[in-house]
A and B are shown apart, each in its own frame.
Chain A
Amino acid sequence: MTEPIVNDLTIQAATVNGSGSQTANLVLTRAIFHMGIPVAPKNVFPSNIEGLPTWYQLRITPEGHMARSDKVDILIAFNVATWREDLKSVRAGGVVIHEEAFSTADVRPDVIYYPVPFSKLAKSRIQNDTLRKQLANMIYVGVVAGLLGIPWGAIEHGVKRQFLPKPKAVPVNLDAIKVGYDYWQDNFSKQDPYRLEPMTGAVEGKVLVEGNQAAALGALMGGVTVVAWYPITPSSSLCEYLIAYADRFRVDEKTGEKNISVVQAEDELAAVGMAIGAGWAGARAMTSTSGPGISLMAEFSGLAYYAEVPVVIFDIQRIGPSTGLPTRTSQADIGFVYTLSHGDTKHLVLLPGTVEECYEFARDAFDHADRFQTPVFILSDLDLGMNLWMTPEFKYPEKKFDRGKVLSKQDLEKLAGEWGRYRDVDGDGVTYRTLPGTDHPAAGFFTRGSGHDEQARYTESADAYARNMDRLAHKLETARHALPAPVVEESGSPVGLIAFGSTHAAVIEARETLAAEGKKVDYLRVRALPLADEVARFVARHEHVYVVEQNRDGQLYDLVRLAMPAELVERVRSIRHYNGQPIPAVAITGPLMDREAVPA
């Protein structure tokens, strides 16, 4: 046998959607994480309720890499429909655990097979008729536990943690796992090099959280009180988590009253409209959607921009255009969202690159929206939003809410009622507003998406229109400096990378891979639009800068070049990945090495 490979492997479970396999995969994930070993799960699922193939990749690395791996070490082949294709994904020398009944005629000889009679075991050993199909998946958890040496205590933890709300389900699931565990012990001797061993120092202080979960908590801590949404993958879970958290933390136990309203709207037009109506009336309001919903929200987003109404809009991106691949990830909405609406429009866009930032940016987005009286978009994606990620525990907010420039009754009395809703008195482009219900005769004004002057009166005056548009541009410029700054890591390399969002994980790994070969590349991570000045300065400090992103057209690449002085434009290059699978590090290192002789 070759050298043992410890805590550095990728498991891929190929199963059938809707069969309960996701629960089995999560038990395995939590068990391994409990051993102190970093995990990075990616769920590749179909747009389907039951029956189509689904894959779950569980990447395990001592370094804690969280990008998708392009190589499979251990395949769990549980789906006869994809078995032959799945087999091709396994690296030479890898392991295949498969249903014994699958035909093995002419299978490739360069991998190690562990056939298991899953169906027979389920029939003979699982007594529970109604749950047999679901529990059959647990058998493979037991086989993998045996194969890799996962301690039984870790398995117990994984099951208990996964069934936290349903402790009654723990024994029956453990029994099913034991069936597989015993089968491994009784029938196989280990022929492969893969091992898991408990670790220390890698995952302490870290938790496993989905980006949408983190964003829901962030919104709650940001003080959201009106949420209007329409179900759409991969955004739905954000609002569903928010509903669960609100039921727990925002209900008055005595009266049953809720300090939040979550409305499942009739469509995305209504969802964003309700959020804007609530923002106009002074609530912290949000909606969450994905590509098709964002398209529907374009008109209302223009109204909120032009009439200057605060609102927070989450776009958990998926593959488009149109319905696209509804359950696959993408970063292809960035260009569209930035200028969403007809007419001259530009929005504030936050670009969380980690689960921790999903929490922080969601929380702070309500401050930005109130401060700048405009829609704030948070661009996440399916990979970041719906997969579990290791993250440091979230921090309690230090700042109080920033409700922005709102004039109270007392303020209006001091001003003797002399104010203009769209009059820039501070010179920052941000004007004062009043909220409905303010008890002063000068408080009321008429909000409209049509042309208006400084006093919010209807006008078709050419000068007033241009003045207002110039002020809005100035406001955006003020906001640009208040948004999260880029994160820069550099060590004087002539080559730099620029990325945003979930691509971050692959960039980290790509840079580590290159550094291990003595090739350093610098990195700037964009965290907001409009782009910070630092982006141009970063480009100026490098000979070549590659913008890495998960879309076909290089949308951030375009935005970066537009932000450059002419002499720097030529330095900017593009690396794109757009097949719906989360970008792996090799999709960066490969093209980079092809095009760049990075000096050692």
Chain B
Amino acid sequence: MSATGNRVGLPRDAYKGAATTLCAGCGHNSITNHMIKALHELGVEPHMLAKMSGIGCSSKTPAYFVETAHGFNGVHGRMPALTTGAHLANRQLIMLGVSGDGDTASIGLGQFMHMIRRNVDCTYIIEDNGTYGLTKGQFSATADLGSVQKKGAVNTFQPIDPCAVALALGCSFVARSFSGDGKQVVPLIKAAIAHRGTAILDIISPCVTFNDHDGSTKSYSWVKDHEESIADVSFIPFFEEVHVDYEPGTVRDVRLHDGSHIVLKKLGEDHDPTDRRAAIKVIEEGRTEGHLITGLLYVDAELSDFATTEHIPQRPLMDLGEEELRLSPDQFAQFVSEFA
């Protein structure tokens, strides 16, 4: 990589977008910056990127990175459907969905689950702050039981944990991180994009305006105090060589479908990211012990993705013309005669 450009010759600035309109200090802005870094370092061609979102603060963020890419800000909770359709139309596109906890864990929960069930090849980032920011601070469905609202109201319901739901459904890539932890978020975004299948990345992203106070379990200070990373993540793209300079037994190496590697360096207890039961267990232990478990929880690099399962050709369907799509006059005449 040269000093001025990445592998496709583009500088970092080529991955910037419009100025953010979110609050100063919003976790989402940090994630936007992580996204810019990850996309630049991966050398994603902007014209092949499709930025998809639903409705909410998080869903505005695709406007704030890679301005020259196409983006689609759809309706509330329905990013997965738009993404699935666009992907089927052109499976060469890199589908990058950005959603929030309101968008994903309430109206969008069904689409979230069905996208996972199909294993649509896309990255699905949840900018998760446990609150509805745009409508001024109501609890969302990911808010923890007992978490306190800015004006003092206490959440009385169990949270929906998007990672636990994804794992239960057999999602092929499940990770959690924290917007303030760029060292972890950036390689996870890269790995999610490289992964062939639905990659769920739940990033706790504090809302400085409505959910950053004492008593909230989605505040900067709470997350910093309670984050427990299960492994150091690094990502080696397919176009770089793997340097193995770790002591044997201290790292796990996951090879993705495109030849990239995720290298996980053991921190505390060893976690096998290809063991779904272990992933469910580590989340549940974190929950009962009051920790926020972050890192790559689970990956299945081999699970067939939707377009492959459906026998969709690599050549984009949107490129096909009359010759490929219409019956020939002979076929047509034969077919219509069968109605007789």
Contacts and interface: CB of A to CB of B under 8 A. Distances in A.
Interface of A: 164, 207-209, 213, 217, 220-221, 223-226, 228, 245, 249-252, 255-261, 263, 265-267, 269-283, 285, 299-300, 303, 307, 393-394, 396-397, 400-401, 434-450, 457-458
A347 B269 CA distance: 59
Interface in B295-335: 307, 310-313, 316-322, 324-327, 329, 331-333, 335
Nearest to B118: A263
Interface in B79-94: 80-90, 92-93
A298 to B, nearest CB: 11
A276 B50 contact: no
Contact of A446 (B63, B313, B321, B337): B63
Contacts of A275: 85
Interface stretch (B68-76, B271-279, B281-289): B68-76
Given A274-B88, A393-B336, A281 B318 contact: yes
Nearest to A270: B81
Contacts, number: 225
Contacts of A449: 73-75
Given A265-B81, A273-B74, A440-B47, 20 more contacts: A207-B340, A223-B320, A245-B335, A249-B327, A257-B311, A258-B310, A261-B312, A273-B78, A273-B85, A280-B85, A393-B336, A397-B326, A401-B321, A436-B48, A439-B45, A442-B68, A443-B68, A444-B46, A445-B71, A458-B63
A434 B329 CA distance: 32
Contacts of B90: 281-283, 435-437
B111 interface: yes
B246 interface: no
A300 B78 contact: yes
A394 B111 CA distance: 39
Interface residues of B, number: 63
A444 B68 contact: yes
B73 A273 contact: no
B46 A277 contact: no
Q: Which 7 A-B pairs have the closest CB atoms?
A: A273-B81, A277-B85, A282-B318, A283-B89, A277-B82, A281-B89, A207-B339
A279 to B, nearest CB: 7
Contact of A261 (B47, B63, B75, B88): B88
Interface string B83-125: 1111111101100000000000000001100100000000000
Contacts of B111: 266, 269-270, 273
Contacts of A220: 325-327
Interface of B: 18, 45-48, 50-52, 62-63, 66-75, 78, 80-90, 92-93, 110-111, 114, 307, 310-313, 316-322, 324-327, 329, 331-333, 335-340
A270 B88 CA distance: 14
Contacts of B74: 273, 276-277, 300, 303, 449
A436 B50 contact: yes
A437 B82 CA distance: 16
A276 B78 CA distance: 11
A258 B86 contact: no
B85 A274 contact: yes
B36 to A, nearest CB: 15
Contact of B47 (A209, A255, A444): A444
A245 to B, nearest CB: 8
A307 B73 CA distance: 10
A397 B322 CA distance: 10
Contacts of B313: 252, 255, 257-259
A258 B312 contact: yes
Given A278-B86, A281-B93, A256 B311 contact: yes
